Structures are given as C-alpha cells and as structure tokens.
Structure 1
C-alpha cells in the first residue's frame, strides 16, 4: 500500500530534458529527509506538496519514493514561506527573511500585487535584480495556479501538464485556459476527455460552440489516425459528435459551429 505524506522540496537531484520525470529531495513534517521520483517537473525548491508514493530501493542511490500522485499545498507557516521565497531568482535566505519580517503572513499577497516594487524596496536590490525576481515569481506562481486548476478538475498527471502548459502558453496560461479549456488539446498527448473535464469544472455549457467544435476536431483527428483520412459525411460526423458529447443531435448545430 502506498503512503501519503507532506514534504517540502529542498533539492532537485535530476530533471529529464525530454520528459516530466524528476528526482527531488525534501524534508517531511517529521523531519525525515526523503527522495521522490516521478512526473515531478512542475515542482521545485520551496514547494510544499502532499504525495501518495511507494517506497523502493535503488541499487545505487538507496531508498526512493515513487510518486503516484502529488498535490501542491500553499505554504502556511514561516519556514515553508521562507523556503518558497528562497527559490525565487535573486532572493536568498537573507532577503526571504527581510520580506517575511516586513509583511508576515501577507507576504505572498503583497508580492502578487506589485512584485517589482516589493522586491526593489529590499536593501541592495536594484532594478535588474528586482526585474529578474519578479519574472521568476510570476512563473512559479503561475505554475502553482495552473496545477491547482488542473488538479481541481481531476486531470491525471496534472503535475507534468502544468509545466508544459505554462511553457506553451506563456504568462497568459491561466487566462487562455479559463477562456478556452480546449486549448489544452494543443499540448501533445492531451486528448479531448481531459480538456472536457476542465471545461466541465469551469462550468462551460455542454452544448457550447467551443465544446462542439473541439469535439468535432477530435473526431476528425481520430478518423485520420484510424482510417487514414479526415473525410466524414455530415451524418457520420453528426452521429459521432452526439455520442462523444452526450448531446441530442438537434442541439449540435454543426453547420453554425463549423462554418
């Protein structure tokens, strides 16, 4: 049976360049150091996460925990907030302490409001460093937000997908996904079902033109993969779309949606 525990990431031991696989090390609530491996590329130094994992023994590196599921947690005490702040480019332990002394529990909210201004107010931090820190802050916070959204929608492998989405869509990732959850399909290996889970979580109307269009494109791509072409009669597309989307044919309005 897998164990479930919380851990604060402190070191990245390995990150694959061609997959979301990573090996991370951190400290659990009981003070024990543990090494995690799995699709963990979205996590980094300072992240506090809850994992479901199985202990395994590596012949060279010793005990590791193979992660089945990982959920991001918001830092809720000074040590975890400090660990996250230290992970920001240009902000080390000393500056992290200064920020916590200045803003206490509100430190993340204050930085979110105006990161450049907050960082530039620290002693010895110039425009270049504050700009670098602000960019790093936005990137880290965005991945956390995207990860939280995908996990709330019940999408598997959210921890790997969050980083890929952020790299693909840039600093507008949350805006893009909330406006059109089916943009997820642009990511290699992500199918209609996962995007549809996100759409449902965001409250998108089941018969919305966005959903119908995305479903039809999915059907045509599947036809190409299975049959070698993307040609379907209107009646065939109508039938398959009604089945995929679980909607009556009269609610599809394919001509209007696809025109």
Structure 2
C-alpha cells in the first residue's frame, strides 16, 4: 500500500538502526497519522512517499508500518522553508530558512543543488556559514541518494539502513563494486541475499568474487553442522552445487589466495595410508582450532598434583568407598571414565541421554572434594 504526505514531527528515533515513530499528514488530508519503521535521514517538513501496510497496535492504535520510502522534495515555498528549518541542515534554523526562501523563492532547492555559492546573497549569511550549509546539504543529499539506490535493488528498508550504517557514504561504491562483502560484514545479510543483489547488478555467475564468496559460504554452512573444516574435494563439490557452476572453476578459485579471501588450506597428516584429505578452513576457524590445540598442549605439559596422586590410587578401594559410603555405584565404563578424569590432565566425557554422565561426574567431584579441592562446573 502507498501513503504520501508531509512529515510533521518525529516522536522517537533510534540512533542505532534508524527506527522511528512519527506523525505525518497525508497529502490532501487535514489529519495526522502515525508511521513507524526504519527511516534514516528524514526530517519534519519533508514530503515522503511510503510503502507499507496499516496495522493495529494493541496500545497505540492504528499505525502505518513502513517497508520502503522515498523523499520527495517540497514543491511550495512554505514547504521549503519548513524543510530547511527543521534541523535537517547544520547552521539552518527557522530564521535562516526564512531568509533563504525569501531570497530565492521557488528556486531555493535548485540553488542549493546546483549553485550553492549563491548562498552568500542571503542577507546576514557570511561565506563561512554558507560553506557549512553547503557541506551539510551535500551530506543529506548523499544519504538520500544512497538509500534510494539500495531500495531500488529491492532491499528492505531495515537492511538498507544497516548497509548505510556500516559503510556510510561509501555504501553505493561497496555494493556496486564488491557486493559479496555484505555477506561477511553486515549483520543479517548472508550469501544468498548478497548473491541476489549481485545478480541484480549484473555480476556474472562465473565472476571470481562470486565463486570465492560461495566457497566461504559453503564452509560457513559446514561449521553450522559442527565441522571445523571440509576436505578440499568435498568443499569444491558442495560449492559448485550451491553456485551451479563447474567444479573446475570452484577448484581454481580455491587455489588462488588473492581471490578466495579468508580461507586457509591446511596440511595432510603425514605418514598415513591412505593419505588424509587436504583440509580447508575458514581462517577464523583455523585460528580457533590452533588456539585450542595450543591450550590443550599447555594443560598437558603443566604439573598436576591431582593426576600424580590418583595415578597411585588403589581403585578397587576407591570405588568401594563410593558405593558404600556415598551411594554411588558405577558400571565398568563409568569407572573407566572416573579413572581417566582423575589421572589425565585433560579429558572429555561424552554420551547420550541416560548413559550415566551425571553419576560419573558426581563421583569425580565427590572424590576431589574428599581431597579438599573445589570444583568449578
């Protein structure tokens, strides 16, 4: 549904995402309506063309929920005066806006757009203040141009606002030149959305930046399934399927570090037959895995009085103590797990529901408490 009108006042606006609650007078009407949504850079006095739908809020009544918007420049001198004096432009309040519109009349906006140096013709407006107004006007027009460009790509207003917040005035250049950066750098935009944007901009299906982004996306999806890496041949096969391209193209891109980006190809485990697959990681995941391995090695090398003590334990007596004095009876696998936990410096306890993990852990903490240790769980 379309709604056009003049923005009268902004009741609330978030600095984070541009979400606002405002009052608007629909064109040709004499009453106010409430509009809500993510609109960035709008000011009272502006004429807005809105797309969205009416909704009934439980507390605040009827509201127009904005899904997309455009700013229409005011056509009347009074509208221009209100627009310029709304706080939109640094250095221009109601009094200065009055002087500017009195000086240039219906050509006010044309002067600001094309011959802003003429602002010095306004009585009482010096060159320094004219330069401030000129720069502020240019900045506001840039915001509107960027938002219009993003919405013309079919992006919802919320995503367009996020992109602008991320890149500012460079947003148009980033989206046009490197649209797949959005998937890596803007929250809420994944590869599939970035791919649709790129297609709308005419990026070819075989473009190297698309193939590289598809490889990173495929690795990211694998991490969602719990994998730290994918074998290179498996990655190529999956990515080619996602991208609908030949596997050779995905493989060539994977092997070009200048194109593929934040991806790291690991090494095969030596001296194994058959040879292990070549692992491919997202760089952040490779760093995380290396960090975890280093931390484990530090733990293994560190001295442990607990492990040293329980290495000499008489385990039949230990388990008898647990059963008779603590009512903790353990199966053979549970006993093995307790021994591992208390004699190894690092251990992992796994098992499905009902397999005895809780009882095993209780046995471990009971024995440690008996030795005066506190356990952090």
Q: TM-score range by the shorter chain?
A: 0.7 to 0.9
Q: 1:250 to 1:15 in 2, by over 3 A?
A: same
- Map of 1:196 onto structure 2: 195
State how far apart, in whole Å, the 1-side matches of 2:12 and 2:189 are: 25
In the other structure, the counterpart of 1:101 is: 105
- 1:88 maps to what in 2? 89
What is the Cα deviation at residue 53 of structure 1?
1.9
C-alpha distance 207-108 of structure 1, shift in aligned 2 (>3 A): farther
Identify which of 159, 173, 188 aligns with 1:161: 159
Call closer, same or farther: CA 1:146–1:11 in 2, change over 3 Å: same
Shift of residue 13, structure 1, vs aligned partner: 0.7
In structure 2, the residue matched to 1:51 is 51
Once the two structures are superposed, the pairs formed by residues 118-197 of structure 1 within 5 Å of their partners are: 118-126=118-126, 128-156=128-156, 159-185=157-183, 186-197=185-196
Equivalences for 1:55-94 in 2 at 5 Å? 55-57=55-57, 59=59, 62-75=60-73, 77-78=75-76, 84-86=83-85, 87-91=88-92, 92=94, 93-94=97-98
Q: What residue in structure 1 maps to residue 38 of structure 2?
A: 39
Q: 1:135 and 1:106, CA in 2 relative to 1: closer, same or farther beyond 3 A?
A: closer
TM-score by length of 2: 0.57
Please report how far the alpha carbon of residue 176 of structure 1 lies from its aligned counterpart in structure 2 after TM superposition: 2.2
Match of 1:251 in 2: 249
Which secondary structure does the structure 2 equivalent of 1:211 belong to? helix
Gaps of 5+ in 2: 262-377
- Runs of 4+ in structure 1 off by over 4 angstroms are 17-20, 79-84, 118-121
The DSSP-based 3-state class of the residue aligned with 2:213 is helix
Quote the offset at 1:247 in angstroms. Answer: 2.0
Instruction: With the length of structure 1 as denominator, give the TM-score of the two structures.
Output: 0.79
Q: CA deviation at 1:118?
A: 5.0
Aligned to 2:332: none
- Once the 2 structures are TM-superposed, how far is the Cα of residue 47 of structure 1 from its aligned partner? 5.0
Deviation at 1:126, TM superposition (A): 3.7
Aligned pairs, number: 248
Structure with the greater alpha carbon radius of gyration: 2
- My pick for the range that moved more, 212-221 or 131-140, is 131-140
- The 1:207/1:16 distance shift into structure 2, 3 A limit, reads same
Relative distance call for 1:44 and 1:244 in structure 2 (3 A) is: farther
Alignment equivalent of 1:23, drawn from 4, 13, 21: 21
Which residue does the alignment assign to 1:13?
Answer: 11
**1:58 positional shift:** 5.1
Q: How far 1:21 sits from its partner (Å)?
A: 2.6
Per-residue CA shift, 1:124-144, capped at 9, x if unaligned?
334553444344333322222
Task: Give the distance between the partners of 2:222 and 2:216, measured in 1 at CA.
Answer: 10
Query: What residue ranges of structure 1 are gaps of 5+ in the alignment?
Result: none
